[in-house]
Amino acid sequence: MKKSHLALFVILIVASLFIGCSSSRKARLTEAPVVESSEPSPQALDLFIKGVVYDQQGEITRAIASYRKALQFDSTSASIYLALAEDYLALNLYDDVFEHLHSALRYEPLNAEVISFLSDLYLRMNLPDSAAYYVERIVDAHPGDNDFRHRLAVIYMRSNRLSEATEQLEAILETEPQDEGALQQLSTLYIAQRDFQKAYDIAYQLYEMNPADDRLCFTLASLLAELREPERADSFFARAAELNPDDPRYFTNWAYLHLDNGDPGKSVEILEAGTFHHPTSADIWGLLGSAHYQAGEDSLALEALDLSLELDASRIGSYITLGFIYDDKGELDKALEVYNQALTVAPQDALLLNNYAYLLAQKKERLDEAMSMVDQALSLSPDNASYLDTKGWVYFALDDYENALIYLFKALEYDPENAAIYDHLGDVYAAQGDAVKARSHWKKALEYDRDNLAIREKMAR
């Protein structure tokens, strides 16, 4: 079965900074008794200042020497240990960095600068749980410190501890309900958990605070599309594009909304406006070609798709839509030519391999090659109903009706309301001479595709 690239791509991508896999490793903290620091030594202070000057001059080794001398006069100064850690980090001497940071914490267990440095270092090493350990100490000691709650929430997201991140953000909002950073993080968090209603509710609070923010309008539109509220989504997409027409995503995602709702004409209108602002956007021209195709405007579709590929020859979706158009027009050789070009760009694209194999099965040519292509597609996506249907269709072209039925019924397990699969089953039974089963499956196909004249013609024979 041919399958289109078109889909509604409106789920916002959550940045990898916030969402990541939790590391199983966790740094161990060697607890040491807290030593109270004494009054700073004048000699230590003088050497510390000299070290700072050396750092400003870029003389790191001389700065380190000065800081180490300062420790001889004051071994309890967290500031000196922190300065040494920063210089050792610049030299990539990580063992020394950790040694001096832990020494600093021995004397000042809640030093915010040291803990910030240490937590950043653990995040850089992909040890978010260890980073969280230290920040939790400050949050526990100073629960009103929302800056560190923010930091802790980000770390929890990084280690996929989403419920704990939510708790921190909600705690911030209890005392600062207008904290835009917390609201943004919490909305992002709900998007990551696919709770689009809660994400929308929070994003709307932000919108009320910043109604001229085009990014918020785009976020709200995307969330409303996921919530299946197309009319409200349409209004926010329109607002985003009006506020900032320089972002091409506003036009493409807005157009996807209407393609998904079966209104290609509206998509064409939106994308034509998009080409005015972005005349060299291959994405917009490619999607415009698909919209024209769905609207039955093949000549306009061909023009837009050709221009899309002139701008970016790697757009596989444009090749596939061109293949559909030539296939529909009965120009199968042109369709094969398009697919050949596409395979030079993306030889491992599963959808392209599937559609090429299906076209070869239609022509009953190079069927061994078609079988190899669809098997390659299935190795990449083994549960894809369209690919299973194509394999069944290749077997049908080989007159292997038994295997054709096996794969067509397997395809039906994954997509039980697909008219094309029932149509193909009817064709296989008809080839076997079983008219009753053939008509039964064609009739079932018409339940899901009432306007399919080809199936009605087969039933009328």
Q: Can you list the positions of beta strands (E) in 117-196?
A: none
In angstroms, the CA 138 to CA 284 distance is 49
Most confident of 10-19, 111-120, 189-198, 365-374: 365-374
In angstroms, the CA 163 to CA 360 distance is 51
Mean of pLDDT values over 175-203:
92
Over 50: is that where the pLDDT of 26 sits?
no
The per-residue pLDDT for 137 is 87
- pLDDT of 384-401, one tens digit each? 999 999 999 999 999 999
Q: How confident is the model at residue 409 (pLDDT cuts 50, 70, 90)?
A: very high
The per-residue pLDDT for 134 is 86
At 216, the amino acid letter reads L
Over 90: is that where the pLDDT of 99 sits?
yes
In angstroms, the CA 369 to CA 261 distance is 37
- 118 to 29, 76, 144: CA distances (angstroms): 12, 18, 21
At 21, the amino acid letter reads C
Mean of pLDDT values over 55-61:
93
Each as own residue / partner, the long-range contacts of residues 170-177 (CB below 8 Å, 24 or more positions apart, any chain) are 171/143, 172/146, 175/144, 175/146, 176/146
Q: Average pLDDT of the chain?
A: 88
The per-residue pLDDT for 7 is 36
Determine if the pTM surpasses 0.95.
no
Over 60: is that where the pLDDT of 9 sits?
no
Q: How confident is the model at residue 10 (pLDDT cuts 50, 70, 90)?
A: very low
- The residue ranges of every structural domain in the chain are 177-227
- Name which residue leads in pLDDT, 187 or 144: 187
- The number of C-alpha atoms within 13 Å of 345 and in the hemisphere containing its C-beta is 16
In angstroms, the CA 456 to CA 453 distance is 5
Asked if 291 and 271 count as a contact pair (C-beta separation under 8 A), the reply is: yes
Sign of CA dihedral 165, 168, 174, 179: negative
Over 70: is that where the pLDDT of 24 sits?
no
The per-residue pLDDT for 447 is 92
The per-residue pLDDT for 19 is 27
Over 90: is that where the pLDDT of 112 sits?
no
Q: How buried is residue 333: exposed, middle or buried, by Cβ count under 10 Å (0-12/13-18/19+)? A: exposed
Residues of the chain with pLDDT > 70, as a percent, come to 92
Over 50: is that where the pLDDT of 151 sits?
yes
**Token pair of 343, please?**
């395979």
Region of poorest pLDDT, from 13-27, 105-119, 131-145, 421-435: 13-27
- 337 to 21, 243, 314, 327, 334: CA distances (angstroms): 43, 42, 16, 11, 5
Over 70: is that where the pLDDT of 181 sits?
yes
* Residue 413 burial (CB count, 10 A): 10
Q: How confident is the model at residue 40 (pLDDT cuts 50, 70, 90)?
A: low
CA 371 to chain centre: 32
Mean of pLDDT values over 223-247:
97
Mean of pLDDT values over 203-228:
96
For residue 32, report the phi and psi dihedrals to the nearest 5 degrees.
-135, 150
Residues of the chain with pLDDT > 90, as a percent, come to 70
In angstroms, the CA 156 to CA 172 distance is 15
Over 50: is that where the pLDDT of 248 sits?
yes
Q: How confident is the model at residue 403 (pLDDT cuts 50, 70, 90)?
A: very high
- pLDDT of 304-361, one tens digit each? 999 999 999 999 999 999 999 998 898 989 999 999 999 999 999 999 999 999 999 9
Mean of pLDDT values over 400-420:
96
Asked if 107 and 37 count as a contact pair (C-beta separation under 8 A), the reply is: yes
Q: Which of 11, 2, 8, 1 lies closest to 287, judged by CA?
A: 8
The per-residue pLDDT for 349 is 94
Asked if 30 and 37 count as a contact pair (C-beta separation under 8 A), the reply is: no
In angstroms, the CA 271 to CA 260 distance is 15
The per-residue pLDDT for 39 is 63
At 460, the amino acid letter reads A
Over 50: is that where the pLDDT of 20 sits?
no
